[in-house]
Structure 1
Amino acid sequence: MTDVPDTFTAADLQAVRTGTGRPLLLTDATVHTLDPVIGTMKHADVLIGGGLVVGVGPGIVNAADDDGAVVVRAAGTTIVPGVVDLSAVSMGARRGEGPGTLAPGAPAHLAVLADTDAPDLDAALRAALTGPERLRAVLRDGMPVVWDGTVLTPASQPDATTDAEGGGAGHVDPERVGVWVDTEDFLHQELTADGRYDETRGGRRHAFQGRYWIDGDRIDYLDDLGFWAFGRFDGDTLHHAGYTMHRRQTR
């Protein structure tokens, strides 16, 4: 990882974590928006709020105090979209809709690299795709998942909790603890009160086991084998990996 002094520091991360609900402003970076109208800007700011790109361009930092924004200095870095949707580009999707650009209104998925690793757009995208160790920061929905080159596990995210023994149990929603069963009775997924899950597939017990975290309607899984997965709750329904599940009623 190329060193960029005084950017994306531990103090910055702490400010982001304690600034829940406040806008986040990355200031003084080169920004490749991949938006056909905005294009690339030097010494630009990216304002993030509510998981979306709120504004992009030079001078936004002048209103940072008025907006109560958390300001992170990004001089010497290049910012690119963290998700590139080639189908949206080729089909001419409406600006600011869906991932793939950093236009205002787009989801705040972005990656940050040192300028020396990203002299132009092609080099920036290539470095982001092939050299993850070069990433200074990555934000998903405006929340850090990589910071100062370090991958942040859910246990180190601001919304995660730890159990009394420090074992890293995630957010647990008591209303969603229990056994969830898909409509074909193939997949049984038990969410336990200690932040663990245990899947039975086609009668094969303990097919997958690991930890889970619930944030609003989203559930993230970290399997003991090391892979990640996610699902979404829609009322009394859990959608995960193509399965539609409902919680089994206790008798």
Structure 2
Amino acid sequence: MSITDTDTVSWNTEALDEILSNDGGRPVLFTNARILTMDPLIGAMVGADILFVGSLIVGAGPGIVTAAEDDNAIVVDCTGMTIVPAVVDTIALAGGRGRRSTYVATLTPGNATDFLVVPDELADDVPSAVATLVSRPEQVRALVAAGCPVLWAGTDVPGRATAPKTGIPAAADLTGSPRVGVWIDRNDFLHQELTADGRYDETRGGRPHAYQGRYWIDGDRVDYLDDLGFWAYGEFRGDELHHAGYVMKLG
């Protein structure tokens, strides 16, 4: 095992244990890092900190570590490390964002706690840092998603979330679900019936069976797979179903 490998394996193991046992109330501070925020206002910072509580970043920049003890923060020393967004805004990288407010996936206070930590020598810029995750994952010091470690010191974090299985799932039995029924838009043009066996049937402008297929509900999201082969989606918002520009309520 090389010196680099040894350093990777032992990287901030005590801090990881504290983060995993944290109930979300204690802030977590990654300190003394080079941070490539991808935010056009904040830019890149050296010897800087990123502070988060749960799934939200609450601070970024030098000097935050001075309050770590006051706030009972979990401190992760990132000396020699670069922190970049884990989700890369490729449109921003290509200069395709006209306003700062349109940027996504930046390490900006108020944004999601999704970031990647790699050694400085593997992070000349954001693309090369992200490439490390794909080509040399054993060199990744941390991958954090919504405030929860996914990778740490090059290995999977115990208890990490697992990706859903690929492929089309079996239809769920939705008998008794309050979302089963006929949803009708404000203009009485679209009638979308969601049945308990996971099928939908749309009437449009009085034309029955305009679209039919399968659907799945995941939280407040509904995914549709039409019998013609295309996918679509909708979102439940309170007692409304929003789909393709239509706002529907149960009839």
What TM-score does the superposition give when structure 1 sets the normalisation length? 0.60
- Which residue does the alignment assign to 1:183? 200
Whose radius of gyration is greater, 1 or 2? 2
Gaps of 5+ in 1: 161-174, 190-230, 247-251
- Which residue does the alignment assign to 1:127? 132
| 2:94 is the alignment partner of 1:94 | no
Matches within 5 A, 1:154-169: 156-157=159-160
- Which residue does the alignment assign to 2:55? 51
Identity rate of aligned residues, in percent? 37
Task: Quote how far apart the aligned CAs of 1:123 are.
Answer: 3.5
Q: Please give the secondary structure, in 2, of the residue aligned with 1:139.
A: strand
In 2, the alpha carbon distance for the partners of 1:87 and 1:119 equals 19
- Which residue does the alignment assign to 1:215? none
- Which residue does the alignment assign to 2:108? 103
In 2, the alpha carbon distance for the partners of 1:123 and 1:107 equals 22
Q: CA 1:151 to 1:182, structure 2 compared with 1: closer, same or farther past 3 Å?
A: farther
Matches within 5 A, 1:3-152: 3=5, 4=7, 7-9=11-13, 11-21=14-24, 22-88=26-92, 90-95=96-101, 99-121=104-126, 123-152=128-157
Q: CA 1:99 to 1:143, structure 2 compared with 1: closer, same or farther past 3 Å?
A: farther
Task: Quote how far apart the aligned CAs of 1:125 are.
Answer: 3.8
Query: Is the 2:138–2:153 contact (alpha carbons within 8 Å) kept by the matching residues of 1?
Result: no
Structure 2 counterpart of 1:233, from 196, 208, 219: 219
Query: Is the 2:86–2:114 contact (alpha carbons within 8 Å) kept by the matching residues of 1?
Result: yes
Q: CA 1:242 to 1:67, structure 2 compared with 1: closer, same or farther past 3 Å?
A: farther
Q: Report the residue type matching 1:143 in the other structure.
A: C
Q: Please give the secondary structure, in 1, of the residue aligned with 2:32.
A: strand
Gaps of 5+ in 2: 163-175, 178-195, 202-211, 225-230, 237-251
Task: Quote how far apart the aligned CAs of 1:15 are.
Answer: 0.3
List per-residue Cα deviations over 1:100-119 (Å, max 9, x = no partner).
21121221111111123224
Query: Is the 2:97–2:103 contact (alpha carbons within 8 Å) kept by the matching residues of 1?
Result: no
Query: Is the 2:49–2:62 contact (alpha carbons within 8 Å) kept by the matching residues of 1?
Result: yes
Task: Quote how far apart the aligned CAs of 1:35 are.
Answer: 1.4
In 2, the alpha carbon distance for the partners of 1:37 and 1:245 equals 33
Task: Quote how far apart the aligned CAs of 1:188 are.
Answer: 7.2
Q: CA 1:181 to 1:150, structure 2 compared with 1: closer, same or farther past 3 Å?
A: same
- Which residue does the alignment assign to 1:225? none
In 2, the alpha carbon distance for the partners of 1:141 and 1:30 equals 20
Q: CA 1:141 to 1:183, structure 2 compared with 1: closer, same or farther past 3 Å?
A: same
Task: Quote how far apart the aligned CAs of 1:24 are.
Answer: 1.2
Aligned-pair RMSD on alpha carbons? 3.4
Number of residues of Structure 1 aligned to a counterpart in Structure 2? 182
What TM-score does the superposition give when structure 2 sets the normalisation length? 0.60
Query: Is the 2:29–2:74 contact (alpha carbons within 8 Å) kept by the matching residues of 1?
Result: yes
Q: Please give the secondary structure, in 2, of the residue aligned with 1:124.
A: helix
Task: Quote how far apart the aligned CAs of 1:60 are.
Answer: 0.5
